Structure 1
């Protein structure tokens, strides 16, 4: 990991309009949790539904998409990546640094608010808040690797990412069991399911299958980003 690249990337991400989205989305989750707590509508079923549908299925992929594509995509689009490519920095270090920044952003703006919302709604009951936080973290790492790779491979990374998150995982997932099982969301939910005894939480994928798949997707996305960045010449970046 390169500290200079990390610092510049953090400054870029937190200084743009993306920062407003990074703050707005988790704020909605926390506000919803407070409202449910105040109105007494925070039973275990409702709390699990909010954390799964809003936190894991909506907040996480959108934030990971913003972070994953934002840490490197704009630099490639406007040619600023050429200044990095001309330095004696291995491409894998560049990719791993960008990925690390994306993961930190997802942890700060998705995992922490999920923990806060879970504790507000259900407290420590069945360890559900911590379980969903863990699911968001592992899912966030996989999502970030995929979206960083998309940003390096395509200028339409945001559109492709939205299609995957909203169409494949959400729309098709409700009608096609196969599509539902082949999704980062369900693999992350499997980790959550393994960490809590709350009956409303149930994944369609076994933990023994979900963990290797999460690891494989993370490694594959990172490797693809490194390979593609190596093939990106300074001339093409200009």
Structure 2
């Protein structure tokens, strides 16, 4: 961890329009949870639908995209990354620091609101809230790593990330059964299912598959982002 890099990354994420989105999106989820609870009372099916589809299926990847790409892509676009790379420090440390900040953002603005929405909708019964909260936490970490890699690899990281979320996670992942094994959303659901009471949450990927894939994707994306950042440094020096 580099405190200076972390401070600059936090300032970049929270001090621009991204900061507004990071606050508004989870606020809308919590508002919807309140309205649904008032209108329908304590209903397990509705709670699962809201938390699984809206929170874990939409909120988490969206905020992971905002935090992951925003942690570094803006610095690459405006050229300020040159000043950061000029410092004598390992490139992997820069990436890891930015990833920690991005994961912190998804935890604060995606996982925690998901947990709170679960409490509003269904209380502490059946472990529903904590299950979806933990599922959002691990899925948010994986999304942050993947989208951080995109932020280093392409100037169109947001567009590519949206296409991935909308086409693969939402469309292909929901309608093509075999593709769900490679869905971050399904990995999060697998953990949520393991934490909640049996039969409350369903997932198409077993926990023994989901956990290794979550770790593999997160670590691989971090490693490739570090290599890519080092490549950018060499290109700049040439």
Give the TM interval when normalised to the shorter protein: over 0.9
Q: Which residue of 2 aligns with 1:194?
A: 194
Q: Which residue of 1 aligns with 2:65?
A: 65
* In 2: Cα distance, 1:128 partner to 1:210 partner: 19
Would the aligned equivalents of 2:146 and 2:217 in 1 still touch at CA under 8 Å?
yes
What stretches of structure 1 move > 2 A for 4+ residues in a row? 233-237
* In 1: Cα distance, 2:235 partner to 2:202 partner: 50
* In 1: Cα distance, 2:17 partner to 2:7 partner: 18
Matched, 1:176 2:176: yes
Q: Which residue of 2 aligns with 1:2?
A: 2
Displacement of 1:198 in angstroms is 5.6
Would the aligned equivalents of 1:63 and 1:106 in 2 still touch at CA under 8 Å?
yes
Displacement of 1:199 in angstroms is 2.8
Question: What secondary structure, in the 3-state scheme, does the structure 2 residue paired with 1:4 have?
Answer: helix
Q: Which residue of 1 aligns with 2:51?
A: 51
Displacement of 1:23 in angstroms is 0.9
* In 2: Cα distance, 1:91 partner to 1:157 partner: 20
Q: Which residue of 1 aligns with 2:132?
A: 132
* In 2: Cα distance, 1:22 partner to 1:115 partner: 16
Displacement of 1:37 in angstroms is 1.7
Please provide the CA RMSD for this pair.
Answer: 1.5
Would the aligned equivalents of 2:180 and 2:205 in 1 still touch at CA under 8 Å?
no
Question: What secondary structure, in the 3-state scheme, does the structure 1 residue paired with 2:155 have?
Answer: coil
1:28-43 correspondence to structure 2 within 5 Å = 28-43=28-43
Question: What secondary structure, in the 3-state scheme, does the structure 1 residue paired with 2:162 have?
Answer: helix
How many residues get paired? 238
Q: Which residue of 1 aligns with 2:217?
A: 217
Would the aligned equivalents of 1:85 and 1:234 in 2 still touch at CA under 8 Å?
no
- The TM-score normalised by the length of structure 1 is 0.96
Displacement of 1:181 in angstroms is 2.3
Q: For each residue in 1:129-181, what CA deviation from the matched residue of structure 2 results, as whole angstroms up to 9, or x when unmatched? A: 00101000111111111000111011111111111111011111232112222
Q: Which moved more, 1:60-69 or 1:42-51?
A: 42-51
Displacement of 1:200 in angstroms is 4.4
Matched, 1:25 2:25: yes
* In 1: Cα distance, 2:180 partner to 2:212 partner: 17
Identify unmatched segments of 5+ residues in structure 2: none
Would the aligned equivalents of 2:128 and 2:200 in 1 still touch at CA under 8 Å?
no
Q: Which residue of 1 aligns with 2:81?
A: 81
Q: 1:39 to 1:198 in 2, by over 3 A?
A: farther
Displacement of 1:221 in angstroms is 0.3
Question: What secondary structure, in the 3-state scheme, does the structure 1 residue paired with 2:225 have?
Answer: helix
Displacement of 1:40 in angstroms is 3.0
Q: Which residue of 1 aligns with 2:112?
A: 112
